[in-house]
Amino acid sequence: MALSFRALATAAAGALLLPLLGSPAAASTASAAHAGGPTGANCAPFTSQVAVAEGAPADQRIAGTLCTPRAARATTVQLLLHGGTYNRDYWTVHGRTGGPSYVEAAAGAGHAVLAFDRLGTGASSAPHSSRFTDSTHELVTLQLIRTLRDRGYRKVVLVGHSFGSTVARMVAVKHPDAVDGLILTGEGTPPNTAAFEQMGHLYVPAGQHPLLARRGLDDGYLALRPGGKAAWFYDRRTTEPYVLLHDELTTEPDVYPADPAYGDISLNQRIRVPVLVVVGQDDKLICGGQGSDCSSSAALKASAAPLYGPEARLEALAVPATGHSLNVHRTAPLWYAYAQNWAKRRVDGGR
């Protein structure tokens, strides 16, 4: 996006804190949103040493979980990039009680799946923010892709959420031979710039966030104030209250690129692999205003199509009654099923 994530977030330093949701007891109940590991797959911890910049030593650790199907050896791997305020748990949340997580859906479709904590989040290393460059997140992703290819995976699909989708796009733009397909959620189509600017006032340095201050991060790490996710990322009609509460109580910091041109959507014309764009119809950060028309999948595709060339073979899905963070809604299995079908057709089948 032609937005400076850091500039928008830094503008929030003087805003008043929104009230925290819930209590410690409620947080315990909310943890059920992530209870249990993926079924139908063999999952194991994944670690990799990476560099933060070209020519730098590989002195940082990426932590993740690699799941492989039990039925047969996978030749395609989906590499999952969470968005800002999240870690890898975004991909194992059960937005609908009894429904699958994204990892379960992808592994069940026969693909290997690597969900990882982007640098600075979760269990991955958190170097001083001054060590990040504007291309650090995509460079780390590229190093992970090479590791997966070295392990024998022939095809790699990048699956992103929000800022994770921005990173995925930039990998495909700058390294066209690195990936075989892109699934872009909560992104990949014209954004509602005014909404992004409004939400930006809810960001503070991570040290000022009551749930993150203990991490001792420098002020280059930014966090969304308590209540921000509930206000901007959800459609309450299809949200389990305990999922929303868990989401608020497990927020993550991030270091965003400083370049206001980072992720410029005009660069999408350079993408040479199939693209699927998935957006909730009630995504405040994408839909409406000067952003995309999310009223139907056809309208969403029409909004995004001018950004892509023919090699993208663009498909788009608008998910009803769903906000920005698709996985935390009861509607999540709808897009999971579509995405796995798309990956089979466009990446495995090459059609």
The pLDDT tens digits of the residues spanning 49-74 come to 999 999 999 999 999 999 999 878 99
Sheet holding 275-280, edge to edge: 41-50, 60-69, 112-116, 76-81, 155-161, 181-185, 275-280, 315-319
User: 290 near 190, Cβ under 8 Å?
Assistant: yes
What pLDDT, on the 0 to 100 scale, is given for residue 71? 79
Q: Is this prediction's pTM over 0.85?
A: yes
d(CA 39, CA 27): 24
Mean pLDDT of 179-192: 98
Question: Which residue in this structure is represented by tokens 């909004």?
Answer: 303
The pLDDT tens digits of the residues spanning 139-162 come to 999 999 999 999 999 999 999 999
What pLDDT, on the 0 to 100 scale, is given for residue 70? 87
Which of 61, 138, 101, 129 has the alpha carbon at shortest distance from 340? 101
Q: Where are the alpha helices (DSSP H) in the chain?
A: 5-10, 24-30, 102-108, 136-150, 163-174, 193-200, 228-232, 241-249, 297-304, 332-343
Please, is 320 exposed, middle or buried when counting C-beta atoms within 10 Å of its C-beta (0-12, 13-18, 19+)? middle
> φ and ψ at 224, to 5 degrees?
-80, 130
* Residue-wise DSSP of 165-207: HHHHHHHHHH-TTS-SEEEEES-SS---HHHHHHHHTTEEEGG
Based on its alpha-carbon atoms, the radius of gyration of the chain, rounded to whole angstroms, reads: 18
User: 324 near 281, Cβ under 8 Å?
Assistant: no
> φ and ψ at 79, to 5 degrees?
-105, 120
The pLDDT tens digits of the residues spanning 283-332 come to 999 999 999 999 999 999 999 999 999 999 999 999 999 999 999 999 99
Give percent above pLDDT 90 in the chain: 86
User: 147 near 126, Cβ under 8 Å?
Assistant: no
